[in-house]
Every structure is written in structure tokens, then in C-alpha cells.
Chain A
Amino acid sequence: SQQGEEDPQALSIQEGENATMNCSYKTSINNLQWYRQNSGRGLVHLILIRSNEREKHSGRLRVTLDTSKKSSSLLITASRAADTASYFCATQGGSEKLVFGKGTKLTVNP
């Protein structure tokens, strides 16, 4: 069964706007990761946040983690057309396995 569930399933914004995607999960985790998938390509790792961290930044990306609510959010600031892709959260528990959600499809209109 899927661990992470992203919300919304699809998001359409204008270039320059911020995009926020949310992820909820069910069990305890060691870390939570976000990946991006461009159409017809493999997934690319974006950022990892450990269970004892609350917020992390990387360039235009900001990730938050609330373990009490079992949720995370990914914020992309000042979006660009090139950010158009699907975004997946993935959780890692006590093994090397990652469990992925079904993703948020982001469209950034120029």
C-alpha cells in the first residue's frame, strides 16, 4: 500500500507564482524525500529531510516536516516553466525501502 499521499493531484500556476504541494504518510519514518519526474523520464532526487528536522531549504525549494501530523510540504518559490513536472514524496522507515506517493502534477504556464 502507498505510504505517502500527495495533495493536490494536479496544480496549475503562472510563472513567478509559488507552488505548494503537500504529502501525508501513515507510519513512523527516518526521513522524507521529494523527487521530481519530467514527462517520459526517471525520477530525480530533490531534497531530503530527516525526522528530527522541521524545515530545510535548497535554492528555491523549501520543505517542512511535521511528524506529529505525519505531513510534509514542498514549496517552490518563483516558479518557472521548467519546473513543470510531477513531484513525489517518498518515505524511508527502518529499511532501505522508499515508499512513494502518487505524485502532484505541476504545470507552470509561461
Chain B
Amino acid sequence: DAGVIQSPRHEVTEMGQEVTLRCKPISGHDYLFWYRQTMMRGLELLIYFNNNVPIDDSGMPEDRFSAKMPNASFSTLKIQPSEPRDSAVYFCASSPRTIAKNIQYFGAGTRLSVL
């Protein structure tokens, strides 16, 4: 398996523009997670899905952020409009269905710079 695939690897955009980050989870995994990593705040969970259904979006910072999972092999995280404080590395992770043992497999991340 190729692992979790994220695209693009790097994104540079200007303030106010829409940004879409993409993720392909590992085939057969039931859970998908979106994280944001910054030096100041570390790794923060934004939202996670179970079988394509959003379960907990309490980490989404504000209405400018939205995430979708239209099918089991694809998810997007959208920021509209983007702001400089959104600059961070965004990770997608997936995990299989297990009982009380959630081991997550991470993609390589998307480094977002908002100018």
C-alpha cells in the first residue's frame, strides 16, 4: 500500500484566496483525521471522520474551515478565505477499525504558507 497520500506537498497563496488540501487514506481504513501542526500550538486535531461521516469537528478553528469526505478514498480540507495565521503544516491520517487501539498512519503533510 502506498500509505496516506496528501496533495499538494507545498502550497503558497495570498491572503483571501481559497485553499483546498486533499487526502487519500489507506484503503480499508475506517477513520480519517485532519491535523494542523505549528511551532506554537503543536499538533492539533481539526476534525475526524468515521466511514465518511464527520464525528467530531470541535477542533475546526472557525467557519472559514470546512472538510468533506465524499467517499472512502478521498477527503478535502478547505480554507476560504485564507489568512496568514493559517500558515502551518496540515496532516491527514487514517486508521483501521480496532477496539480501544487507534494507531494512526500519517501522510507526509501539506505545508501551507499564506502571504
Contacts and interface: CB of A to CB of B under 8 A. Distances in A.
Contacts, number: 55
Nearest to B59: A97
B109 interface: yes
A103 B40 CA distance: 12
A33 interface: yes
A88 B55 contact: no
B43 interface: yes
Contacts of A30: 100-101
B91 interface: yes
Contacts of B100: 30-31, 50, 92
A77 to B, nearest CB: 23
Contacts of A45: 103-105
Interface of A: 2, 30-31, 33, 41-45, 48, 50, 88, 92, 95-103
14 contacts: A30-B101, A41-B109, A42-B4, A42-B108, A45-B103, A92-B100, A92-B102, A95-B55, A96-B95, A96-B102, A97-B56, A98-B33, A98-B45, A102-B43
